[in-house]
Amino acid sequence: MNIPKPFKMLPKMFGNASDEDLASLDRLTDETGSEKIKEIIDYVKTIIVKLKQKGYGECLSFDLGLVGRLDYYTGIIFGGFVKGLGHSVLLGGRYDSLTEKFGRKLAATGFGVTVDDIFDLLKDKKDESGESKPARPVRIALTKGRLETKTVEMLEKNGIDCSSLINKGRKLVFPLDNGRFEVMLVKSRDVITYVEHGVCDLGIVGSDTIAEYGSSVYELADLGFGKCRMVLAGTVKYKNDPETFFGGYSKKVIATKFVNVAKRYAASKKADVETVSIEGSVELAPILGLADGIVDIVETGDTLRENGLEIIEEIFPVSARIVANIAATKLRKKEIDGILSDVFKV
């Protein structure tokens, strides 16, 4: 799909209230040349400058990639974060046409606060007898196995000594770059869980796992390795022929580790399929007659070939990505930016 450049710029357009970051917002105005965009950007800048003058500059950041889950917002949306929690505790925005649906037209701005989270945090603080903990290093959850090897190669190339990670024994936590950051080795699915909950700030994981589980983390960069493809595969009679696979009157059964991906894919084909969740060696399912096809990743194609299966259709290309906890991109922006540019060179 050909995505226009301004849309591609949006997820990377976040920053704090520094003059430099605020000036970076003008790049979007320049790129689009749109008066409407200029008006919006100037409005955001004015709000930030005014709050800065009132002494709140240290707590502010903007994010043009923020998307509200509710579709009634008609203008700015905002969130509030606190140290120690990986998600927002306050969410709200401008909604000018919502009340109209209930009989009275009133422009409004509102927000909700998750009181339970704040109480939990206050309770934790009390348990620590008021002493604030020193900030821990940035934590990176790294997918064990193939991506681990490729990531270590990349880090070493970029001048980071990874000998502790190479001779790791049974250890799972590795301070690197003189303690500037820590790497923890986990399974792909768990990268998303640790980053989502904010106990790790960054994660390195395949875009296949993000597509399946990663709706609540930020994807910051494509590392360009760990390349493979998500495909629909099956017996030779369906080779390169998704129409025949999804056609006919019988409901097809798809075996997969990627149930959400498979369901979305089938929905895009307007096909009613049954999915069967299989944890590994999913190629066995059509061979044993449990399923008509599989949705799985293919790298060399050897596993399919050696088991008499063929690609029916490619769904999307896969590669390793850096993901971030949403709150960490606000609260630890400088450290994360530094690690992305010095350590990963992205």
113: which DSSP letter? E
**What minimum distance in Å lies between the beta carbon of 30 and ligand PRP?**
44
CB nearer to ligand PRP: give 201 or 296.
296
Tokens 């994360």 map to which residue? 336
In sequence order, what are the beta bridge partners of 295?
232, 256
**What minimum distance in Å lies between the beta carbon of 90 and ligand PRP?**
40
**Backbone phi, then psi, for 183, in 5-degree steps?**
-110, 135
CA–CA separation, 40 and 319 (whole Å):
35
Tell me if 6 contacts ligand PRP by CB under 6 A.
no
Using CB under 6 A as the binding criterion, the count of chain residues that bind ligand PRP stands at 12
CB nearer to ligand PRP: give 162 or 298.
298
Tokens 């998303």 map to which residue? 192
Q: Which of residues 285-304 bind ligand PRP (CB under 6 A)?
A: 296-303
CB nearer to ligand PRP: give 125 or 144.
144
**What minimum distance in Å lies between the beta carbon of 144 and ligand PRP?**
11
* Nearest alpha carbon to residue 146 among 233, 256, 227: 227
**What minimum distance in Å lies between the beta carbon of 311 and ligand PRP?**
10
Tell me if 281 contacts ligand PRP by CB under 6 A.
yes
Tell me if 280 contacts ligand PRP by CB under 6 A.
yes
CB nearer to ligand PRP: give 301 or 338.
301
**What minimum distance in Å lies between the beta carbon of 255 and ligand PRP?**
11
**What minimum distance in Å lies between the beta carbon of 278 and ligand PRP?**
9
**Backbone phi, then psi, for 236, in 5-degree steps?**
-60, -25
Structural contact between residues 326 and 88, judged by C-beta atoms closer than 8 angstroms: yes
Tell me if 277 contacts ligand PRP by CB under 6 A.
no
Tell me how long the chain is: 346
How far from 2 is each of 5, 65, 122, 258, 281, CA to CA, in Å? 9, 19, 47, 26, 35
Question: If DSSP codes are grouped into helix, strand and coil, which group holds residue 188?
Answer: helix
Tell me if 65 contacts ligand PRP by CB under 6 A.
no
Question: If DSSP codes are grouped into helix, strand and coil, which group holds residue 74?
Answer: coil
CB nearer to ligand PRP: give 92 or 206.
206
Q: Hey, how many other C-beta atoms are within 10 angstroms of the C-beta on 62?
A: 22
Contacting positions for ligand PRP (CB under 6 A): 280-283, 296-303
